[in-house]
Amino acid sequence: MKKLAVLASGSGSNFEAIVNQSTGAYEVVLLMTDRDDAYALQRAERLGIPTQSISPKSFEDKASYEQAVLDVIRNHSIDWIALAGYMRIVGPTLLKPYEGRIVNVHPSLLPKYPGKDAIAQALEAEVAETGVTVHYIDEGVDTGPIISQQAVKVGERDTYETLQQKIRQVEHELYPKTLTKIIREDELVGK
């Protein structure tokens, strides 16, 4: 079973879904946040998952911050990293050692609506559907190779909150399933 670290900045609902839907391919052994007030930390405590919070403000630059994150991840012998509402662009210090093993979930059908506030972008564009994308991280913003996607219908009466709720439901199913699939495939290939 592979060891998984989840990086989050906010509420941690995807983190909790990843923990609760682990099917034996991976075990979540660490939650890391970049904010010590992230609600995800409370979820981790309730689930019995070890946590570490490291504020980027404590470091002189991004590379130093990411080196501290990398040190913690290596101390836990992490195999894979899942970003779950982690509101930072991953730089080369963290990306290079874990290239091809850092995964993110994004609330749109990429390449549409990358970056911040994809749900508002979809509503503003008045599209009939948006969705969820699980993708590998690269040096860009939501530009890494797509692993899986699922469409979400946008209803005429959808508000930001109702659409966000529909997207989260899909994320909570698609993300853990995708992680299980790619980690199992990786084991078969023997990366």
Q: Dihedral sign, CA of 35, 102, 97, 142? A: negative
Phi first, then psi, for residue 165 (nearest 5°) are -65, -45
Is 62 one of the annotated binding-site residues? yes
Which are the catalytic amino acids?
A: 106
Residue identified by tokens 């078969």 is: 188
User: How far apart are the C-alpha atoms of 9 and 97, rounded to whole Å?
Assistant: 22
Phi and psi at residue 59, in whole multiples of 5°? Answer: -125, 155
Residue 104 annotated as binding? yes
**CA gap 183, 67 in Å, rounded:** 25
Report the distance separating Cα 8 and Cα 6, nearest Å.
6
Alpha helices in 48-159 (DSSP H): 62-75, 92-95, 118-125
Using the structure block, give the residue that is written with the tokens 């993300």.
175
Please state, in angstroms and rounded to a whole number, the distance separating the CA atoms of residues 55 and 45.
19
90 is in an annotated binding site: yes
What tokens appear for 52 in the block? 């570490």
13 is in an annotated binding site: yes
14 labeled part of a ligand binding site: yes
- Annotated binding site: which residue ranges? 12-14, 62, 87-90, 104
- Annotated binding site for (6R)-10-formyltetrahydrofolate: which residue ranges? 62, 87-90, 104
